[in-house]
Amino acid sequence: MPVRNERSAGVLLYRPDKSSQPHFLLLNYGKYWDYPKGHVEKGEDELTAAERELAEETGITDAEFDPDFRHEMTYFFRDRKKGLIKKTVVYFLARTRAKEAKISHEHVGAQFLPYDEALQRVTYKNAKEALRAAKAFLDAAGR
């Protein structure tokens, strides 16, 4: 069975806090914590997919996307039915004023956390790398 390629898009969403530290949104998928993300559907670009997934999974529609941030990761996993899959995920950085997310049926919880707590909570190593890249970008931009 050949390797199957899949593309997803997601959002590293943050909101400013009184402490001046950005708080990042993490979703509880039941077995792991991660960011809002999903498949890029036929006919849509990655940014459109990221915006759609954010709205579907969190109810948040006021996100202001930063045009200068893009973080891409690739990993492999095995699906029982589809076999070996090469997954590429593109993350965008966006800011919101929302205080909470209205989670979809895919999740069991959601939380905005300060960077250090978010870094500890997010499950996968490549997700931690994406968060580090977003924080470094925000720090360099003075945000």
Domain layout of the chain by residue ranges: 4-140
- What's residue 86's pLDDT? 96
d(CA 32, CA 68): 28
User: 28 near 112, Cβ under 8 Å?
Assistant: no
- What's residue 35's pLDDT? 97
- What's residue 19's pLDDT? 72
- CATH superfamily of this structure's domain 4-140: Nucleoside Triphosphate Pyrophosphohydrolase (3.90.79.10)
d(CA 59, CA 75): 28
Kindly report the pTM of this predicted structure. Answer: 0.93
Residue ranges of the chain whose pLDDT lies below 50: none
